[in-house]
Amino acid sequence: MGELSGYKGAALRFLEKTGAAVGDVLEVRTSWGTVTGTLVPRYLYGDGEHIVLKLRSGYNVGLSLDGLVGARVEAKGEKPSFAHHPPPRPAGGLPKVLLIGTGGTIASRVDYRTGAVRPAVTSDELYSLVPELSQLARVEPEIMFDILSENITPAHWEKLARRVARAVKEGADGVVITHGTDTLGYTAAALSFALAGVPIPVILVGAQRSPDRPSSDAPLNLVAAVAMAGTAKFSGVYVAMHQGESDDKIALHRGTRVRKNHTSRRDAFESVDVPLAAVWGRDGLEHVAEGLPPRGGEFKPRPKFDEGAALLKFYPSMPGGMVRAAKRSGAKIIVVEGTGLGHVSKEVAGELRLFIRSGGVACMASQCVRGRLDLNVYDTGRDLLHMGVVPLGDMLAETALAKAMWVLGTGASGARAKEMMLRDLAGETTARTFPG
């Protein structure tokens, strides 16, 4: 670690001018106010356009050079250094787990004094961060992206799917993908389709509290994900996150049935209308649902996606023009989040009719989040069915969007795309079971 470790370009020049070093407390003036915090090193792959301060609140602030007016060193810090933890020796015969980083902070190495965070890029570093991992698996870390998950696109899904497929060929016993939680559910759904039939466990994992906070859920989520990816007897795409607020149990969710239902709680992720796939406690798997696919078997990845699908949430007085806009933006499939059992206003229904007539595929999900559509109960629903709207049953709208982009990626369109949207391909919809 140098004096300005990780900084480059304009950011480096700015800091050199102020005489600052990593670990110093800086007062930085910006166009919108003054910020005081400890200068922390950048990620290995950070850009040259930002400096990062650790605030007293424990959060890191990234400041764009754009808005910086000036800075001064308020207090010199000690030169930071990562403590050296000699990694424990991996036990022999451990399963091989590929750990793919996408930019979530979960598999990052942290200096708890400065708050510096950077991806752990070697096994040794990773084991020194979470020593338990070395007892669970031979972990091979690989940073694929370093982006915030709100910027993940279908192009990233495709790269991830291809990498997992290669890992299967290379003999990995499991894959863990660390991912920002914001769009973790969308990515899990996307991979569930692209990797349907994958013969090993592929487990996405995130953290709601960054690893530089004492209350972080990162280490336990990671341990559980690696343990399950390495040794579980089942295969498929899943999400591993805290089951409750306490730091003891990890819920494993099916990739097509999981949703981030809270902005900040550790147990923000929930399986919607289906039981958990598994529960992991500190001593290993405590519960595994019946019917999960076993390891092994045929596998033909279909990793392509096509962005030509849109998600529209209906609301009172929504202009029909929004449907036309989605089409103009290139949507060949539109997933509508209707109200209740799957309804939209007459105006929006009329636009969906035109969209379908022009060759588009319109699908209906519900903004209720939980429960199943029924387009046979009310006039509106029957009109929608009649005009050819695809009823998605109990499929999550977010899953439906990812599926639509995958369906288009297979080259399907029109009637074939409709049929694929309807059919259960990766556990995304279940047979009707009427509540009450």
Q: Annotated catalytic, 260?
A: yes
Selected from 23, 24, 50, 361, the binder of its own copies by CB under 8 A is 50
User: In whole angstroms, how large is the CA radius of gyration of the chain?
Assistant: 24
Per CB under 8 A, does 342 bind its own copies? yes
Of the residues 38, 102, 178, 181, only one is catalytic, namely 181
Interface with its own copies (CB under 8 A), residue total 83
The token pair at 188 is 């899990």
Backbone angles phi, psi at 121, to 5 degrees: -100, -10
Sequence-separated contacts (24+) of 262-271 with Cβ below 8 Å: 264/208, 265/208, 266/208, 266/209, 266/217, 266/241, 266/242, 267/241, 267/242, 267/243, 268/181, 268/208, 268/241, 269/181, 269/184, 269/185, 269/239, 269/241
> Is 220 or 326 the residue whose CB approaches its own copies more closely?
326
Is the Cβ of residue 140 or residue 247 nearer to its own copies in the bound state?
A: 247
Locate 309 and state its tokens: 């699908």
- Write the interaction track for its own copies spanning residues 199-218; mark x where CB under 8 A is met and - where it is not: ----------x-----x---
Q: Does 45 bind its own copies (CB under 8 A)?
A: no
- Indicate the residue among 38 and 181 with the shorter CB distance to its own copies: 181
Positions 394 through 423 that interact with its own copies (CB under 8 A): 398, 401-402, 405
Stretch that binds its own copies, among 36-44, 57-65, 223-231, 415-423 (CB under 8 A): 57-65
Closest contact distance (angstroms) between CB of 188 and its own copies is 12
Give the number of other CB atoms < 10 A from CB of residue 22: 25
CA distance 232 to 294: 9
Q: Does 249 bind its own copies (CB under 8 A)?
A: no
Please list the residues that pair with 278 across neighbouring strands: 252, 288
* Residue numbers 74-133 binding its own copies by CB under 8 A: none
Identify the helix (H) or strand (E) that includes residue 345.
none
182 classed as catalytic = yes
CB-count exposure of residue 389 (10 Å: 0-12, 13-18, 19+): buried
From 102, 105, 178, 183, active-site residue: 105
Catalytic annotation present for 105: yes
Burial 87-110 (b: 16+ CB within 10 A, else e): beebeeebbbbbbbbbbbbbbbbb
Contact residue for its own copies among 13, 19, 59, 297 (CB under 8 A): 59
* Whole-number Å distance between alpha carbons of 132 and 304: 36
- For the bound state, the minimum distance from the C-beta of residue 91 to its own copies, rounded and expressed in Å, comes to 34
Q: How far is the CB of 390 from its own copies (least distance, A)?
A: 15
- Residue 263 binds to its own copies (criterion: CB under 8 A): yes
Contact positions with its own copies (CB under 8 A) in 160-189: 180-183, 186-187
298 touches its own copies by CB under 8 A: no
Question: Does 144 engage in binding with its own copies (CB under 8 A)?
Answer: no
Q: Please identify which residue in 8, 17, 233, 262 interacts with its own copies, judged by CB under 8 A.
A: 262
Using the 8-state DSSP alphabet, how is residue 361 labeled?
E
* Minimum gap (Å) between residue 347 Cβ and its own copies: 9
- Identify the residue among 289, 313, 350, 422 touching its own copies (CB under 8 A): 313
Our finding on whether 317 is near its own copies (CB under 8 A) is yes
Measure the CA–CA gap between 306 and 144, rounded to whole angstroms.
Answer: 21
Which H or E element spans position 344? Answer: none
363 is an interface residue for its own copies by CB under 8 A: no
- Binding to its own copies by residue 9, rule CB under 8 A? no
341 touching its own copies, by CB under 8 A:
yes
Residue 42 as a binder of its own copies (CB under 8 A): the answer is: no
Got the DSSP string for 123-168?
HHHHHHHSTTHHHH-EEEEEE-----GGG--HHHHHHHHHHHHHHH
Torsion of Cα atoms, 240 then 245 then 246 then 252, to 10°: -20
- In this structure, what is the dihedral angle of CA atoms 270, 273, 278, 280, given to the nearest 10 degrees? 30
- Span 367-396, contacts to its own copies by CB under 8 A: 368-374, 376-380, 382-383, 386
* Residues acting as catalytic residues: 105, 181-182, 260
